Chains A and B, each alone.
Chain A
């Protein structure tokens, strides 16, 4: 191995590869292109992966929503088309019967699904916003960042049906002065005074919720709008390691049972399974990553084979030179090492250049997609992938270099010298 660190070896290699610059450049471009494709593709795939991840960052990945619709089958004497209404009692049933459910948050809303938005006012300022009636468990399912000094709704708020609210950034801007601390401040919701306990931070990457949403305790919402035990929908988070599709099915079956719905009636309850969607998207992103890996490696392989091919031709061209070297005392091992090292050197140089170019391309794409709404964040190629690619190139470069090297050695010096 000593010869690798020998300056003389590298001088010989430099001499022979700088001899034919066009050949060297073409060789390098082949592999460079391969590694460039590999880096750019897998980086882009990773960027998409990251983009999807950040889209779902603000909500538990194995969460789902369930709401009531109209029945489509008659059952137990009820006629078809009956409006389903979720009730607070359902929560207890679900918690008791379905152990896979980690959190369940019943929710009500104004300003969505056809209901009018809440009218907000403070001093001479007014506005209409979406208003949610929530339990503290909701933040376990869809975490809300609350600005310093504030908090989300807690259990005591629920118990005492306190008139407290968590407002959004936009609401804060519109209702309060710039240097005014909103925490503790009062404002009106549909003519009832509420005290602000927190301001939630708007997360633009999260697909749900706006910067003006107002959250108040579920119990307060119930009193304010006289909703009784009615629940708009459930936000439910299952434990991490369970099959979310199965849990969704179980919940709906349980609800059908409670609400006297025919077991085969699939229209009575609507649901949206984020976990399932998320798994699909993750699967898609994984597929893209896998594809880019295959394409990248295939391209690298093609590039390396190109190097082997060109070296083979160059060995043919250099038959005489190699013969002279052998006549002057180069051992077959020395000749072989030189050719293999040339191959590895070209491969690695090309690889490093390809990696740099690929990284530049990724940076370019990244800054180009910065401001547009496209799930693409922080496109990176993990260092192990890069090192892996380089290692693959060294191995392939060595293997492919062995072919021309063996050929160079197999020519007897006497034949090499005779060749004109």
Chain B
């Protein structure tokens, strides 16, 4: 599903440049649930941004579902993001003047899905994250966990190839974190490919594979015994 080869990225900071990614190689198969771990400054967010087509690598290749991702202009990148990727952010990034349902329907709007169909789909995914009754509520009427679930529904609504979660539990307490991870595991159970960037060990162990980044290189890439989050819930 995802294949990167010899990926390099550096940022210019005034006169000196900062080499953030120093030749990364790995691939992710369909249906995997991968945690990308590392301390801050390890390059994990940069990697996710490149994988999410929000940023571009300096060199190396990136193939997503058989499509080489390179030399994208903004318009093309936007279309690919819309079609291939679903984003889940640490700070949820819901649009605060839109109801839960409208937020979920937003990626479908950019897919030019007709309004009726959009709303049906949005309700379906809201139901999947257990928030159907909250469809008409604005984000500020929801708790943190609920907001993240709306965000997950929004990421799912576009039916992307890969879900990318950047510290999805970073702003949540541990109980809600486990609920969210439980949801992510369930979505993965249905065959979705999911990438989770995190620095929390317990969250990482709820994935099936951990890629450990340090100073821009992969220091460890191992399959792990998945810890089900469901046991911590309730």
A8 partner residues in chain B, CB cutoff 8 A: 109, 115
A329 adjacent to B79 (CB under 8 Å): yes
Distance, CA A18 to CA B102, complexed state (A):
15
> Which residue of the partner chain, among A12, A16, A327, contacts B81 with CB atoms under 8 Å?
A327
A413 adjacent to B54 (CB under 8 Å): yes
Query: Restricting to A2-49, which residues have a CB under 8 Å from any CB of B?
Result: 7-8, 12, 15-16, 18-19
Distance, CA A327 to CA B80, complexed state (A):
10
B178 within 8 A of A: no
A370 partner residues in chain B, CB cutoff 8 A: none
**In the complex with contacts A8-B115, A414-B49, A331-B95 CB distance below 8 A:** no
**In the complex with contacts A7-B115, A414-B55, A417-B54, A328-B89 CB distance below 8 A:** no
Distance, CA A325 to CA B54, complexed state (A):
12
A329 adjacent to B55 (CB under 8 Å): no
Distance, CA A333 to CA B110, complexed state (A):
12
B98 adjacent to A329 (CB under 8 Å): no
Query: Restricting to B156-186, which residues have a CB under 8 Å from any CB of A?
Result: 158
B54 adjacent to A330 (CB under 8 Å): no
Report the minimum CB–CB distance from B221 to chain A (whole Å).
25
Distance, CA A285 to CA B2, complexed state (A):
75
Report the minimum CB–CB distance from A8 to chain B (whole Å).
6
Distance, CA A5 to CA B28, complexed state (A):
43
Query: Restricting to A288-341, which residues have a CB under 8 Å from any CB of B?
Result: 320-321, 323-334
Distance, CA A17 to CA B74, complexed state (A):
26
Considering the complex, give the chain B residue whose CB is closest to the CB of A321.
B95
A15 partner residues in chain B, CB cutoff 8 A: 97-98, 102
B115 adjacent to A328 (CB under 8 Å): no
Report the minimum CB–CB distance from A334 to chain B (whole Å).
7
Distance, CA A414 to CA B79, complexed state (A):
16
Subset of 7 A-B contacts with CB under 8 Å: A19-B97, A324-B95, A325-B95, A325-B110, A327-B52, A327-B81, A420-B91
Which A residues are within 8 Å of any B CB, using their own CB? Answer: 7-8, 12, 15-16, 18-19, 320-321, 323-334, 409, 412-414, 417, 420
Which B residues are within 8 Å of any A CB, using their own CB? Answer: 49, 52, 54-55, 74-75, 78-79, 81-83, 87, 89, 91, 93-98, 102, 106-107, 109-111, 115, 154, 158
8 A-B pairs with the lowest CB-CB distances in the bound complex, closest first: A329-B82, A19-B97, A329-B110, A414-B54, A331-B78, A328-B107, A331-B75, A324-B93
